[in-house]
Each structure stands twice: as structure tokens, then as C-alpha cells.
Amino acid sequence: MVVVLKKDATEEQKKKVIDTITSYGLEYKIMPGIENTVIAMIGDERGKPLKSLETLAGVEEVFLVEKPYKLVSREAHPEYNKNEGTMVIDVCGVKVGGPKPIIIAGPCAVESLEQTLKIAHAIKEAGADMLRGGAYKPRTSPYDFQGLGEEGLKILDEARKQTGLPIVTEVMESSKVDIVAQYADVLQIGARNMQNFNLLEAVGKQSKPVLLKRGGANTVTEWLCAAEYIAMNGNNNIILCERGVKGSSVQGSDRNPPDFGGMYNAKKHTYLPILFDPSHSTGDRDMILPASLSGIAYGANGLIIEIVRAGEEACNVKCDYKQSIEPDKLKQIVRLVNSEKQLLDS
Ligand code: PEP
Ligand code: MN
């Protein structure tokens, strides 16, 4: 069950609600919202008169959330339900989940200072809102480039200083959360780590926003449960990201077909903003434009796209060249996506 407090509930009224919950032997989690604070009850709720909490001063509503996730569910945040609204997460002034689709762009991996700066300036010029780039890379083959580690984080820091773009970068293990959080503005949890529960708890315990990718073989429910682990640990600044699921329709190109229906449905069940990744979900630079437009049409709040330098050759890129576009193409996508969104909203 969750308790939704009235907008003007006092601290004293909130304390009374909490005391009553704990007197039933239950634990609780508090989720402050812009309008209403929500308190989720945790534990065996059977046989307890929880509905009677509604009679306490300061309580707006008490209701059952039957889903295995509560804090991130849409039901628990009634203030966002009008028109399937989404929580807006402010990343250094960039509003994720607001009326404008946000564009995160950058190399798959940070490979050098020169490469990262060149791309950072070019994507800024193309209209991107944030810079992505992996310093710690989850690679399928152990023989592939594994990332520059902390040196990569320092390069991203320099790129932020020069361009003002906030940084999104992946953290792969709990022991690295502190160091990545020192440099990053958004901590990315990659598809392979979506159910690494220790890591989810660790990013939940720090305050930087988290970009949680959907695992390539995970259901929407599993994805939202993963987000719940982060929220339960105190961090509700969670940005979801659909990046395609296992399957193949075109051999050699269609790596992780985008699950647009899954993303659309996820939006019905959570109030968190959701981005779409056309790079990892197509594996093919020629599909980035149509996939981006489709993602926005299906309700994505923005895109995360991989970029290479103009004229770059495959042999000089260590990671995901085939699915990376050049800055000029990004510029075209930013323009098209913004006009598409205006048409959709009109
Ligand atoms: C990435 O964004 O660099 C990445 C590795 O993506 P995913 O976790 O979706 O495979
Ligand atoms: Mn990549």
C-alpha cells in the first residue's frame, strides 16, 4: 500500500503517519514529490487496517499498488497522471522529461582527449544537450578495448569545461560509484548490469541522476523493478532508457531490435522519463534517423546517440563505429525531432 499525503501536510502529521505504519511492524520509504509526498509501506501487509490511515490528518489517499514496484509506479504519483505526464529531472539546467526532447550524444568510448573534445564541440554545435562517452566499457569480448578508466573521466571533465555540456558516463561496479560520481553529471547503468542489484543500491545511495538502460533480455516489469531498487535507496532521479532487446530480423545489422511497444507501455506504468537509444538498438548508422523519429513518436523523452568525428574511418575507432553517426547527421536529427515533437503536440 502507499499513502499519499496532502500537499499542505505538516511534518507533525507526516510523523504521525510514519509512527502508525511502524506500529504495525511495517517499514516505510518516503518519496518527496513536487506536489504530494508519497510513503510506501514495506513488509507483510496482510490483516492490517492500513486503509484506516486515511482517517489521519494530512492524508489524501491510501491505496494498494499491486505491482512489484511501487515508488516508481505512476499510481504512486497522481500529480503526474494528467496526460501521462512525466517527472522532470534537472541535469545542470537540462530538463529531462520536459516538453523538449533532450539529445545526449557522444562517442561510444572515450578514446583520447583529441577525439572527445572534437566530438564534444561538434555535438554542441549540432544542438545536443549532454555529452555521453564510456570510460569504463562493458565489452562482449575481453580482447576488445575496455576503456581508459579514470583517465577517460578526466577527459570528459575537460570536455565539460570547454563546452558546458553535462556528462553521462557508465559505472560498471559498486566500488567505482564514488569515483564516477565525482566526474559524471549522470551515472549510466548499462544493459548488462540492469539487474546488478548491489550496483543499483550503490547508485541509489548517491545523489547524481541515474540513466538506467533496459537489459537486452529483460521485461518491462523487471526494468521497473530495477529502477525501484535505486528509488528505495533514496535516489528518485532515474532516467530510463530503451536500447533494444535480443532478437534479429536482419542478419548482421539488426542487433537489438527496438522494443517500441515495451517503451510505450513502460510510460503507462511509471512516471519516470524514458529515453531511446537508436544506436545500440539498431547497430546500423543508416537506421539511426528513422529509429530516432520512431522513438519520439512512441513517446520517448529524448535520445542517446553515438557519434564519430566527421570523415572518421572505421579502422581508427575502437568501439561501435558501425552504429555511430557524424555530427552533421546529428544536426539533421535534432532539427527533425524537434519539429516532429511540435507536430505531435499540436
Ligand atoms: C553504451 O551505451 O555505451 C552501452 C554499452 O550500451 P548498452 O549498455 O545499452 O549496451
Ligand atoms: Mn556503444
Degrees, nearest 5: CA angle 34-37-40: 135
* Whole-angstrom distance, CA of residue 284 vs CA of residue 271: 31
Question: Coil, strand, or helix at residue 338?
Answer: helix
Q: Using most ligand atoms within 8 A of CB, pick from 243, 263, 288 the residue to mutate for ligand 1.
A: 243
Q: Is 243 in the pocket of ligand 1 (CB under 6 A)?
A: yes
Give the full edge-to-edge strand order of the sheet including 38-42.
27-31, 38-42, 2-5, 59-63
CB 14 within 8 A of CB 74: no
Q: Using most ligand atoms within 8 A of CB, pick from 137, 280, 281, 317 the residue to mutate for ligand 1.
A: 280
Over residues 297-325, the pLDDT tens digits come to: 999 999 999 999 999 999 999 999 999 99
Q: What is the pTM of this model?
A: 0.93
Cα(169) to ligand 1 centroid in Å equals 10
CB 82 within 8 A of CB 74: no
Over residues 43-52, the pLDDT tens digits come to: 888 888 999 9
Q: Which atom of ligand 1 is nearest to the CA of 243?
A: 9
pLDDT for residue 259: 95
Over residues 152-198, the pLDDT tens digits come to: 999 999 999 999 999 999 999 999 999 999 999 999 999 999 999 99
Closest to 213 in 3D by CA, of 159, 151, 134, 310: 134
* DSSP code of residue 56: S
Cα(271) to ligand 2 centroid in Å equals 27
Cα(309) to ligand 2 centroid in Å equals 15
What pairing do the DSSP bridges indicate for beta strands 27-31 and 38-42? antiparallel
Cα(196) to ligand 1 centroid in Å equals 15
